[in-house]
Structure 1
């Protein structure tokens, strides 16, 4: 099938945490014989901070962030068998959603792919005339990047015909164990951009523990932290390109995952960082959220922290040998159960089902 995918960016992870998710999912779908065209706007300096050049397995069309350019790329949806509008493109989201629905053929599969379902659902609850509420009448499928049963129930409550979580996963060709890199030496590393709905949790789970154990070294990667007050034992390294993610995960004794407020509240929403760290064989400490056992087993494949004190307790008892045991167990689990190959197989089956349903509808 020809897939037209309208998202934030395939080429750049700069202020774009969904990049590796898009790459893993779409590479596998391309490997299965689908033809992928990814449409991304030239916005937020992402094109100046590319991690990759356009890959062989997808055509990438970068368009100007203007109304005229949006109209032109939206018109190309008419040539696709599958039309996907992702959440959080960042510019002209409403126009893209309305445009691709109108431009797509009657026999095309129309998908809204939500990479931040808790935020989208909160917006819809607070705004009766939210564009997505109306659009759901014309959308065949909602895919979400996580959220489990609560998100499925919420979307179906808003009228979605079918909602399926397609969780983050591991691309073993991209994220895997590598040699340690002195640039990222630390006892505990944390990689995430500074966002308002995560900052308080970062303070609680990372910055406050760091201040309480000055003899330990902490590593902070990601954009936006330059003017944030923190203790002297925190080494800020700024934006970390995806080419350095493996070294970032492999070098510290342990790495930390801190969910955004909404993701932690709803559960069943493992970030890409969870699988990237596990894929690198890193010892992961994650904040507690419902459903973690579905992905990694606490105390054996991951360490779970309810608060900053738990982080301190984990760090106090952790040795390199213990960290390595946890990391290797996590690596085995994600390779067996949580790869993009498995997620792609899931999506491929669903697309075939939807294509059959549309053919039956047309023949009736």
Structure 2
């Protein structure tokens, strides 16, 4: 890469991590892009639920602006959308279909999509649910960046008409996510917003073990859990944790639990950002299983796969401290080598640069 790129990203949220995993994913990626010398304008829909919970209103690694409607977006940012080297639209952007059409009408140099919810997106499209992207729009993008890799990329291109699919997993800011050295407070913890399709596995892999191990301490952090839900007395509840508090939270757990949404388990190759965060903090991870997990974190060496409460109880009561540390070190090494924000930024820039070269060659060929 010979020059700095000007990139516009339209995403669900950068300013607020309340109730979503997108903000921390974007923050890591954008910090990586900044460190690599690129300029990013992040455009966020100004909505009251995030405006009231902004934990990063003034980032020092990018420019952040808000828009109140699709018309305002198209009019106010018209020149920048046209002149940017690349415009990337994210999943779950409010009025996403209209946003994509409005941006595409400006004919940006490169128009891309970053799907941080790919299996959910495809399941919604199969149900003819076009909440934030329409099936007719899948072929509009020069590159369709996907939170999911593996066979999902082939599916995007072969079934959904994507011109070019590229895996772009979530990542972690390794400078911010590291073990704090605090003493363990909980034997097992989980960080995640309530989701009905994850709840059965939370019941099986954390709540059931908590009932069977009353002498141990557990914790669940995240919003939107039903108010009438009954928790065992040895489970602490934290409604919301800002990203700055994540390293301390992970560091105070003997083990942390990773749970995956049903659509992502079915698709495979869909690592949660929480997986990378916990590994960067050197916290041993217990996870549900999905295809492709072993490709990222070898089971038994860098991660523990649990299929039921018995597996969790066995780990909590029987795994030696030495093996815990070896596995935590292995997972941290994998993340620091391949899954930092800066590593992901380099992947993104390489893909954009390659696509840009192809576009220039195509234009030259037509001119000739």
Fold shared by both chains (TM-score > 0.5)? yes
Contact kept? 1:117, 1:151, Cα under 8 Å: no
Question: Shift of the alpha carbon at 1:226?
Answer: 5.5
Q: Corresponding residue for 1:6?
A: 10
Matched, 1:38 2:39: no
The aligned length equals 358
Contact kept? 1:205, 1:258, Cα under 8 Å: no
Matches for 1:45-60 after TM superposition, within 5 Å: 45-60=49-64
Q: Corresponding residue for 1:186?
A: 186
Alignment partners' CA distance in 1, 2:74 and 2:280: 40
Matches for 1:69-218 after TM superposition, within 5 Å: 69-72=72-75, 75=78, 76-89=80-93, 91-105=94-108, 108-127=109-128, 132-180=134-182, 185-218=185-218
Residue 186 of structure 2 aligns to a residue whose secondary structure is coil
Residue 196 of structure 1 aligns to a residue whose secondary structure is coil
Question: Shift of the alpha carbon at 1:319?
Answer: 4.3
Alignment partners' CA distance in 2, 1:190 and 1:93: 31
Cα gap change, 1:139 to 1:154, in 2 (>3 Å): closer
TM-score normalised by length of structure 2: 0.91
RMSD: 2.0
Q: Corresponding residue for 2:298?
A: 297
Alignment partners' CA distance in 2, 1:25 and 1:152: 24
Alignment partners' CA distance in 2, 1:48 and 1:280: 29
Contact kept? 1:144, 1:166, Cα under 8 Å: yes
Alignment partners' CA distance in 2, 1:338 and 1:7: 20
Alignment partners' CA distance in 2, 1:240 and 1:47: 17
Matched, 1:323 2:327: no
Question: Shift of the alpha carbon at 1:40?
Answer: 0.7
**CA deviation map 1:270-306 (0-9, x unaligned):** 1011110010111111111111122112112111112
Residue 324 of structure 2 aligns to a residue whose secondary structure is helix
Question: Shift of the alpha carbon at 1:266?
Answer: 1.4
Alignment partners' CA distance in 1, 2:107 and 2:319: 54
**CA deviation map 1:88-131 (0-9, x unaligned):** 12x211111111111233xx111011110011111222229885
Contact kept? 1:118, 1:147, Cα under 8 Å: no
Contact kept? 2:124, 2:130, Cα under 8 Å: no
Alignment partners' CA distance in 1, 2:113 and 2:154: 13
Cα gap change, 1:355 to 1:327, in 2 (>3 Å): same
Cα gap change, 1:249 to 1:44, in 2 (>3 Å): farther
**CA deviation map 1:30-81 (0-9, x unaligned):** 33232100011122522322232322221000223x4543444563422322
Cα gap change, 1:357 to 1:224, in 2 (>3 Å): same
Moved over 6 A (4+): none
Unaligned 5+ residue runs, structure 2?
A: none
Cα gap change, 1:311 to 1:128, in 2 (>3 Å): closer
Which shows bigger deviation, 351-360 or 304-313? 304-313
Question: Shift of the alpha carbon at 1:321?
Answer: 4.0
Contact kept? 2:74, 2:103, Cα under 8 Å: no
Contact kept? 1:147, 1:263, Cα under 8 Å: no
Residue 187 of structure 1 aligns to a residue whose secondary structure is strand
Alignment partners' CA distance in 1, 2:143 and 2:70: 26
